[in-house]
Amino acid sequence: MPSHCPYCALQCGTVLTERAGTASVRPSLFPVNQGGLCRKGWTAPELLHDRERLREPWVRNARGVLVRSDWDSALDRVGDELRRLVAAHGPDAVGVFGGGGLTNEKAYLLGKFARLALGTSRIDYNGRFCMAAAATAGKAAFGLDRGLPFPVTDLAEAGVVLLAGANPAETMPPLMRHLANADLVVIDPRESATAARAALHLRPRPGTDLALALGLLHVAVTEGWCDMDYVARRTVGFERAWARARAWWPEQVERVTGVAAADQREAVRMLASARRGYVLTGRGAEQHENGSDTVSGFVNLALALGLPGTPGNGYGCLTGQGNGQGGREHGQKADQLPGYRLITDPRARAEVAEVWGIAPEELPGPGLDATRLLESAAWEDGIRALLVFGSNPVLSAPHSVRVHECLSRLDLLVVADFLPSETAQRADVVLPTTQWAEEEGTMTNLEGRVLRRREVLPPPGSARSDLEVLHELAVRLGQDPARFPTHAPTVFDELARASAGGPADYSGIDYQRLDAEEALHWPCPRGTGESPHPGTPRMFLDSFAHPDGRARFVAVDWSPTAGVGERQPPLVATTGRIMEQYQTGVQTRRVHELSVSAPEGFVRLHPDVAARAGVSQDQRTVIRSEHGEVRARAELDESIRRDTVFLPIHYGGGEGANLLTGPETDPSSGIPEFKVCPVSITAEEVPGCTES
């Protein structure tokens, strides 16, 4: 049965085979992976039969212990509590937290459930923690956000690709097949697996990526690489952006970032003189309290070189989560309605309200971004209940210590998931849901390609689809059952109607077309007559999505932030991912092959830093910030900067990287600061051992 990998946003093509109640997987010749899979994809079926798989509901009893329950009892408890809290405190007393791994149908119905059945504005999702800055910058520049506005396969013809804060060799290994013929310019403070393959590696001080982007734009303009004809024909705002970049000459940038002026010039020369060139950003550029501006800085560079919307060239964002693209298009984001339309847009409100059978004024307004949504549990007028679908904010959210405190204040925490995540273990009610091979649905990968997910196995125990869970809760809240269908194709058809006319228009897509083609990229509006719309694999070739058809330069500037300034702290922590694990590790830490390869958290640091701290290879350490501390094994690496330590995000307990991070977020996108956190490091004291 054809399907797709359940992990990253490449959504590699696979073939699932069922035999004696178990599934096996092999790669298909799908365009994005061309017959390849990473270790996570090969081992994905192991999770379907994990011994800790959630198979029945669990409810916390009067003694504070989670005990097995039946579905009616669990759902009745949730419904009763939600009705009580809404009656006493209003709809915004209930929050909803979604995930970038939910199918399009689930994301859509979750947003509808929040705004219609609950009437709350308090909904957001974990994509706020990873792609929000690029989405904000993309919309500002191009009028529309799609991770890659061109097919992945176009990269195979590239001469030079600049990767700003992206490490696909570890995070999405099959993508490297498409980069094999390109010279890579990698911007990363670490010598990552991708940087090790680079023709040129730029290693800025953590948190100075925007200063580097401004310097690269300065080089492009002053040394004659700027495509002024393209700038005049296809953009606006260049002069304002250049006025900010004018002060960032290469030697000034070198002083701030540590990147040699000669390397800055070489990076621009390589990219500008390539027959085909691309600029791609990832989490390293985005997860900052100035993340949107940082991405805009790299978009400005791409525009100055005439790359976006030019055949064989472009700018894109390497979206991370499996449905990170589709998940932010259909209504589980705080400020958006289906079709990637703003909830404040009167026309969008009217059109969606018509599909839902309500008056536009019944729709709530924009809500809180994910970080503030969680924090609001501690506010006097904040949420009293939180429903979490397919996410693990106890580990993924910044400032974990504070998140623990806030969640403990809730009257009700409900988690719908398929494994006992750290968040599920704290819940009052845990609802077991189906996994990727046990359900029908669609996903949208990083290139805007809409894909089919197919059922090959029955759900284990009494696990139910999230669509069924939302249906049952909506009925208990007094909704017409027909408003919340449980049949995925039916939900998709409604989603398509609700998206019509929006930037992410799916109205010309249905399951029949996907079964026949499975190569449809949005926007794909409903065609006229007998000619269906072919979809849009390559965007912006004729015009950008702003009313005047022109892209926007965004005037940005770098200034010191909490962790980076003229007086740099002696040591900063940056967080990220490794090849063997995925997101918060709830899935991959349970896969034997992966857990053997990467069984525990670690801190990677330079041997000189380790020597000053009295730490040796494999020794247990304590990493402290003003927000908390992490205890992890030391991994010495001569390639890492002496002012930087690296911690992976995939581990829980005392190894959770976000025990260190703080509450700072980007004011434009709400993305948290994950990449710069001042820390100290010491050897962990061994109990019972003292100096003589």
Share of the chain above pLDDT 70, in %: 98
In this predicted structure, what is the pLDDT of residue 46?
A: 94
**What is the per-residue pLDDT across 1-27, written as a single tens digit (0 to 9) for each?**
899 999 999 999 999 998 888 889 999
**555 lies in a domain?**
no
Residue 469 and residue 500 in contact, taking contact as beta carbons nearer than 8 Å: no
* Residue owning tokens 């009610």: 429
Same domain? 298 vs 399: no
Same domain? 440 vs 587: no
Same domain? 504 vs 632: no
Q: Please report the DSSP string for 255-271 in residue order.
A: HHH---HHHHHHHHHHH
Average pLDDT over residues 101-130: 97
User: Which of 269, 285, 318 corresponds to the end of one domain?
Assistant: 318
- How sure is the predictor about 692, in pLDDT bands with cuts at 50, 70 and 90? very low
**What is the per-residue pLDDT across 495-520, written as a single tens digit (0 to 9) for each?**
999 999 999 999 999 999 999 887 79
**What is the per-residue pLDDT across 306-327, written as a single tens digit (0 to 9) for each?**
999 999 999 999 988 999 999 9
In this predicted structure, what is the pLDDT of residue 687?
A: 66
In this predicted structure, what is the pLDDT of residue 454?
A: 93
User: Which of 521, 542, 564 corresponds to the end of one domain?
Assistant: 521
**353 lies in a domain?**
yes
What domain range includes position 337? 58-129+323-521
**What is the per-residue pLDDT across 139-167, written as a single tens digit (0 to 9) for each?**
999 999 999 999 999 999 999 999 999 99
**141 lies in a domain?**
yes
**What's the CATH code of the domain at 122?**
3.40.50.740
**43 lies in a domain?**
no
Which of 167, 139, 166, 264 has the alpha carbon at shortest distance from 211?
A: 264
**41 lies in a domain?**
no
Same domain? 382 vs 485: yes
Mean pLDDT for the chain overall: 95
Q: Please report the DSSP string for 472-539 in residue order.
A: HHHHHTT--GGGS---HHHHHHHHHHHHTTSSS--TT--HHHHHHT--EESP----BTTB-----SS-
Same domain? 161 vs 306: yes
Average pLDDT over residues 451-473: 96
**19 lies in a domain?**
no
Task: Say which residues have a Cβ less than 8 Å from residue 605's Cβ, sequence separation at least 6.
Answer: 613, 615, 634, 635, 636, 637, 640, 644, 645, 646, 681
Same domain? 141 vs 125: no
Helix intervals (H) in 101-208: 104-112, 132-142, 168-171
**What's the CATH code of the domain at 144?**
3.40.228.10
Share of the chain above pLDDT 90, in %: 94
- How sure is the predictor about 691, in pLDDT bands with cuts at 50, 70 and 90? very low
pLDDT of 334 above 80:
yes
Task: Say which residues have a Cβ less than 8 Å from residue 142's Cβ, sequence separation at least 6.
Answer: 149, 308, 539, 540, 544, 545, 546, 551, 552
pLDDT of 688 above 90:
no
In this predicted structure, what is the pLDDT of residue 637?
A: 95
CA–CA separation, 435 and 154 (whole Å): 32
Average pLDDT over residues 289-299: 97
93 or 567, which is more confident:
93
Q: What residues pair up with 623 in beta bridges, in sequence order?
A: 630, 681
CA–CA separation, 548 and 540 (whole Å): 12
**What's the CATH code of the domain at 662?**
2.40.40.20
Q: Is the peptide bond before 460 cis (omega within 30 degrees of 0)?
A: no
pLDDT of 530 above 90:
no
CA–CA separation, 607 and 645 (whole Å): 11
CA–CA separation, 244 and 247 (whole Å): 7
User: Which of 521, 543, 564 corresponds to the end of one domain?
Assistant: 521
CA–CA separation, 160 and 278 (whole Å): 7
Q: What are phi and psi of 156, to 5 degrees?
A: -65, -20
Same domain? 266 vs 349: no
Same domain? 82 vs 202: no
**What is the per-residue pLDDT across 347-386, written as a single tens digit (0 to 9) for each?**
999 999 999 999 999 999 999 999 999 999 999 999 999 9
Same domain? 340 vs 405: yes
Residue 94 and residue 120 in contact, taking contact as beta carbons nearer than 8 Å: yes
Same domain? 487 vs 611: no
- How sure is the predictor about 112, in pLDDT bands with cuts at 50, 70 and 90? very high
Same domain? 426 vs 477: yes
Please give the structure tokens belonging to residue 151: 């097919």
pLDDT of 566 above 60:
no
Counting the structural domains of the chain, the total is: 3
In this predicted structure, what is the pLDDT of residue 72?
A: 98
Average pLDDT over residues 204-217: 97
**295 lies in a domain?**
yes
Q: Which of 389-398, 524-533, 615-624, 667-676 has the lowest mean pLDDT?
A: 524-533
Residue 141 and residue 552 in contact, taking contact as beta carbons nearer than 8 Å: yes
**What is the per-residue pLDDT across 586-632, written as a single tens digit (0 to 9) for each?**
999 999 999 999 999 999 999 999 999 999 999 999 999 999 999 99
Average pLDDT over residues 119-126: 97
In this predicted structure, what is the pLDDT of residue 538?
A: 97
In this predicted structure, what is the pLDDT of residue 161?
A: 98
The whole-model pTM stands at 0.96
**365 lies in a domain?**
yes
Same domain? 119 vs 186: no
